[in-house]
Amino acid sequence: MSSLAATESTEPVLCSNCPAICCQLKVLLLPGDDVPEHYIDIDEHGMEILGKLDDGWCVALDRDNMCCSMYERRPFVCREFAMGETDCRDERANWRRIAISLQP
């Protein structure tokens, strides 16, 4: 078993032991979201989304602390992406599968 797979099976699912995987997902903004304008982008379908930097990370990610810089104003989609719930676990497992497949 690889060290990444072993880590997943022994560590509890906590944001503090995650490389902010959810901050790489596309976030569609919904009516009522109070995201600062400079964080908003438009996708290929003309929908408002949370912007990303050239490397694919969310523009609101505080990279020094690996946490959301606008946590209190984060969009509904981010609020619903709950730590340890099914979506979170699925994304972590997918990330680990990709990371393992890239190991030499």
**pLDDT tens, position by position, 70-103:** 999 999 999 999 888 999 999 999 988 988 888 8
Tokens of 78: 């981010």
Count the Cβ atoms, other than its own, within 10 Å of residue 57.
14
Number of domains in the chain: 1
Note the pLDDT tens digit of each residue in 35-71: 999 999 999 999 999 999 998 999 999 988 888 999 9
Output the pLDDT for position 10: 62
Instruction: Provide the 3-class DSSP secondary structure of residue 23.
Output: helix
Instruction: Provide the 3-class DSSP secondary structure of residue 81.
Output: coil
C-alpha dihedral sign at 11, 17, 21, 22: positive
Q: Which domain does 77 fall in, by range?
A: 3-102
Residues 36, 70 contacting (CB under 8 angstroms): yes
Beta bridge partners of 58: 52
Residues 56, 24 contacting (CB under 8 angstroms): yes
